[in-house]
Amino acid sequence: MTISVFIDGEAGTTGLQIRERLASESAIRLLSIPADKRKDVDARRTLMGMADLVVLCLPDDAAKDAVALAADLGKSAPKIVDASTAHRVAPGWVYGFAELDADQSEKIRAARHVTNPGCYPTGAIALLRPLVAAGLIPSDHPITVNAVSGYSGGGRSMIETYEPVRSAPNFELYALTLEHKHVPELMAYSGLQRRPIFVPSVGNFRQGMLVSIPLHLNTLPGSPRAADLEAALVRHYAGAPSVRVVDAAAAAHTRLEPEALNGTDELELFVFGKSELGHALLVARLDNLGKGAAGAAVQNIKLMLGV
């Protein structure tokens, strides 16, 4: 049986990546809308009615409108994967990070509405959730999350400041008001109750991401070692094919670059430690267009459709 998928917003960066990944799936038939009909409500509703699943690659307000449009179809309404920020913490939506907990993939499989994670929160939540759940990091512990992304993480408007002629700086911090739309999501799924300080940045490379979280180990209950943190991550992600906990000590890394996983849907986690200083550094590395966006969306689509 062929399953139909409509990507509403397929011309954007994430939509194009999702379409490219799904094109090789013989069990999936991709429905497309003509370029001149992309904002035509009736044309979009018709395609939604033909689809088993709709992927929303739209701005937040447009995604909310699209969900309402699909709901008007009643029993014919398709399943939805929303790649925007609009429903990340909304009631009734399942969070699309399959490795979040042991039963998360089954929740996604059974869901009709799944919200795709943000790229930055994917890295931070992957590091924090297991450690908070294990009691190694208290939920009210003060946390700082530092992150750098390739410019594709900022969508079309940011891409256009780098391509084809760069008008943006080589590197910059942003969200210096200490407000960012990813923070509520990060808190909701990491288990943190105290708002973390989130410091995002962008570099002059198209894609790739590093998310880092520094820790003073002697401020944590029982003063755990870096090895204890790493062991908790290993236990949590045992059997997860797309998430790998790297033995930082054995790998002897003294530097990490953000582009090593580009073109993959993998997520690497590291725990660097210096016992005599009582310091540790948690790091996640991923492709912001892979596991941080389109790769996660395709993973969720396959779970929801049983492909």
> Which residues participate in catalysis according to the annotation?
119
Distance CA 137, CA 130 (A): 9
Residues 136 and 220 sit within 8 Å (Cβ to Cβ)? yes
Q: Which residues pair with 48 in a beta bridge?
A: none
Distance CA 133, CA 135 (A): 5
Distance CA 81, CA 154 (A): 20
Q: Which candidate, 94, 113, 253, places its Cα nearest to that of 189? A: 94
**CA torsion sign, 99 to 100 to 103 to 108?**
negative
Chain-centre distance of CA 272, in angstroms? 23
Burial readout 184-221 (b: 16 or more C-beta within 10 A, e: otherwise): ebbbebbbbeeebebbbebbebbbbbbbbbebebeebe
Distance CA 82, CA 117 (A): 9
Distance CA 126, CA 98 (A): 11
Residues 117 and 242 sit within 8 Å (Cβ to Cβ)? no
Q: What is the 8-class DSSP label of residue 116?
A: P
